[in-house]
Each structure stands twice: as C-alpha cells, then as structure tokens.
Structure 1
Amino acid sequence: MAHEKDTAQTGQKSKKTAAQQREERLKAALKSNMGRRKAQSRARVAAKPSAESTADDTK
C-alpha cells in the first residue's frame, strides 16, 4: 500500500500487468457493448407504440 501512495503523490503510473491490462480492455468493451444494447432497446421501445397505433387504426 505504501507504493500506491507514492505513485499517487508523484503522479506516476505504475506498470500494469498483462492481466490488469486485459481486465481494463474487457471492462471498456463491456461498457461500450452495454451502451449499444441500451440504445437498441430504447429504439425498439420508441418504435413499438407507433407500430401498435397503426395496427389499431386499421381495425
């Protein structure tokens, strides 16, 4: 822990292991994927009522 304080105070980043780098890449990929999925879901919900209203008009 003392090393963490030293790097935080000096502003220098310690070298990250391959596992830490992989974890950060996966975290970033997951975050962007979730953003796309949420946007798709919102678009589907927004499009759904208009499709239902046109179906109701034909009855």
Structure 2
Amino acid sequence: MKKADAQPNGKSGPAGSNDRAARLAEALRANLHRRKAQARAAADSPAAPEKPDQ
C-alpha cells in the first residue's frame, strides 16, 4: 500500500501549505498594521514626564 503524506493541519498536498501561507501572510499584515498604529500613537502623544528619583 502507498503511504499518504499527512500534513500537521490534517490537510494533504499543496492546498494545506497554501492555506498555511495565506494565514501567515494575513497574520503578518495584521501585525504590521498594529505596529504602525502603535508607532503613530507614540509619535503623536507627548513624551511621558520623567519620574523624579526616589
């Protein structure tokens, strides 16, 4: 009998790897948007005042 190559996500063949690549690309885009938004917020807000030495 021929042994099937199983993918970790339960899908076999290139469809499973395309799905994984698409999810990774979406996650990376979301992460980039989040980091850009945080950078814009940090640039727009005044710097936090320094804490006096205790």
Please identify runs of 4+ aligned residues in structure 1 that moved more than 6 A: none
Identity percentage of aligned residues: 13
Tell me: higher relative CO, structure 1 or 2? Use CA pairs within 8 A at least 6 residues apart.
2
Extract unaligned runs of 5+ from structure 1.
Answer: 1-16
Q: Which has the higher helix share?
A: 1
Extract unaligned runs of 5+ from structure 2.
Answer: 1-10, 50-54
Equivalence map 1:16-55=2 (5 Å):
18-51=12-45, 53=46, 55=48
What is the RMSD computed on CA atoms of the aligned residues? Answer: 2.1
TM-score (norm 1): 0.56
Figure out how many residues of one structure are paired with residues of the other and give that number. 39
TM-score (norm 2): 0.60
